[in-house]
Amino acid sequence: MKILSFPVNEPLRQADDEMRNGTPEDVLGHAECYLRLLDEHMNALRKLKRDPNAEVPTSPEAQGLTDQIRSAVRCEIEGTTSERNRIVTLIESFTNVTGWSAAGTLNQHNFRGACDWELVGTGVKSISNGASMGILEAVEEAKRLRREDYFSPPVSVAV
């Protein structure tokens, strides 16, 4: 019987650490690298799951070990899939910003002292303080604010 081991995937752990400990300027690059490593890891797990060289267990003990290995591979696939989905969502939040969502992000951050940013024509404007900017500028500001939020600790609210 072929014995399998699941050592800690050091490149995955390191890529995750680099992403979490990076800066708002480099977090997107780190996240994309981490996503590539997760995809490689997932492909290796899928190959392992359907290994044609795996021997058919001949004893109850061997069958038990085989079942444990299959269960471990399945759990690792589920965990990797969940982490992959989280990273894809994170990357999308940094890159897929529309004029509408940019206005929402600017409002959340009280950008330039205003919380009434609206998409108006070809720009984003604040009615209360008269500030305005083009859509592209608003989108870039929103992306920057979202990347910065990733590194900000959550704000706790006293009840």
pLDDT digits (tens, 9 = 90+) for 109-134: 999 999 999 999 899 999 888 899 99
Percent of the chain with pLDDT over 90: 64
Exposed/middle/buried for residue 24 (C-beta within 10 Å: 0-12, 13-18, 19+) = middle
Q: Which residue has the tokens 């894809």?
A: 88
132 has which bridge partners? 125
Per-residue model confidence (pLDDT) at position 53: 58
pLDDT digits (tens, 9 = 90+) for 56-91: 667 888 778 878 888 888 899 999 999 999 999 999
Mean pLDDT estimate for the chain: 87
Alpha-carbon span 114 to 103, nearest angstrom:
11
